[in-house]
């Protein structure tokens, strides 16, 4: 509760399962044989890698409670905006 950028605990139980279910459904759809040459997915792939990398980095910083990690988590969150726009 000392982390000022953390959402309420109830948020995690509602939001994250939806996010993971959606990204899992997208991954399954991309893996279908008729989607292997989909140019939209090919174009989006670099943005997905950057997005997932930044989310992993955010998880690393978010799990620490020190001031540097809180600032780094905030900066990492802001850094996810360009990949999100690229994916859009």
The whole model's pTM is what? 0.67
Residue-level pLDDT at 6: 66
- HSE-up of residue 48 (Cα within 13 Å, Cβ side): 11
If pLDDT is split at 50, 70 and 90, which confidence band does 64 have?
A: confident
For residue 54, what are the contacts with CB-CB under 8 A and spacing of at least 6? Answer: 76, 79, 80, 83
Evaluate if residue 75 carries a pLDDT over 90. Answer: yes
**Interval 3-55: pLDDT, tens:** 666 666 777 778 878 888 988 898 889 889 999 899 988 888 899 899 989 99
């Amino acid at each position: 509760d000392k982390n000022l950028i953390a959402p309420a605990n109830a948020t995690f139980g509602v939001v994250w399962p939806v996010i993971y279910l959606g990204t899992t459904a997208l991954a399954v759809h991309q893996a279908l044989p008729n989607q292997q040459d989909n140019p939209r997915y090919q174009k989006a792939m670099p943005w997905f890698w950057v997005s997932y990398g930044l989310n992993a980095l955010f998880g690393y910083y978010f799990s620490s409670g020190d001031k540097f990690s809180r600032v780094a988590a905030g900066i990492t969150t802001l850094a996810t905006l360009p990949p999100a726009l690229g994916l859009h």
